[in-house]
Amino acid sequence: MRTSKLLTISVTVALLFFTSCGGSSDQGSNDTGNSSSETNTPKQEAVSDIGIGPITHVEIGDEIDEQLAMHGKEIFESKCTACHQFDERYVGPALAGVTKKQKPEWIMNMILNPEEMTKKDPTAKGLLGEYMTQMTLQDVSEEDARALLEYFRKYDAEH
Ligand code: HEC
């Protein structure tokens, strides 16, 4: 009696094992099913890491591109200083150290897509809650945003 019960259990376990094995190997050979679950995971991480916007990847050199940084400084002084300083909280956050806090892609997406960022990116949303002012797009191109990023990198490298 006992033995036959055990046998039934082990047969069931063996059957379950084989069924689940068959199931997963079926999925493995199904490329679309597999790759969609793979792309889903990094996408979710990307929301807080690189933010939301046109920038998905930015090449950063080891050295600061001085010329690009100077161009960024000009844009910063004409379009951003109404709300930002480096060392002190103003209308918006102090920007000193921002390149150490945020990924370069996140910074560029914040500059290029601030309104969606404050709605959907958890960090930007938190900042809006704290500063109670919506940062708006300042008529900057992707090239301008890249130059601004270089200026922030230069600032953070020197302070
Ligand atoms: C109208 C005021 C205003 C202007 C103009 C403005 N910002 Fe902002 N900025 C903010 C506010 C406020 C926040 C915090 C998020 C929010 O509330 O929208 C912010 C957030 C940021 C952040 C994220 C800071 C952090 O601590 O992570 C960056 C980077 C930034 N701004 C860069 C810029 C740049 C570059 C410009 C010029 C092209 C600019 N901002 C123009 C108000 C402004």
Section 42-58 average pLDDT: 75
Condensed to tens digits (0 to 9), the pLDDT of residues 52-76 reads 999 999 999 999 999 999 999 999 9
Residue nearest to atom 4 of ligand 1 (CA): 83
Per-residue pLDDT at 21: 45
Section 103-120 average pLDDT: 98
Residue 94 CA to residue 87 CA, distance in Å, equals 5
Section 141-156 average pLDDT: 98
The CA-based angle 110-105-117, given to 5 degrees, is: 30
How many beta carbons lie within 10 A of that of residue 43, not counting itself?
A: 9
Residue nearest to atom 13 of ligand 1 (CA): 92
More confident residue, 54 or 32: 54
Q: Quick one: which of 158, 155, 144, 157 has its CA closest to 68?
A: 144
Mean pLDDT of the chain: 82
Residue 52 CA to residue 32 CA, distance in Å, equals 25
Residue 61 CA to residue 45 CA, distance in Å, equals 24
Q: How far is the CA of 19 from the centre of ligand 1 (A)?
A: 55
Residue 18 has pLDDT above 90, yes or no: no
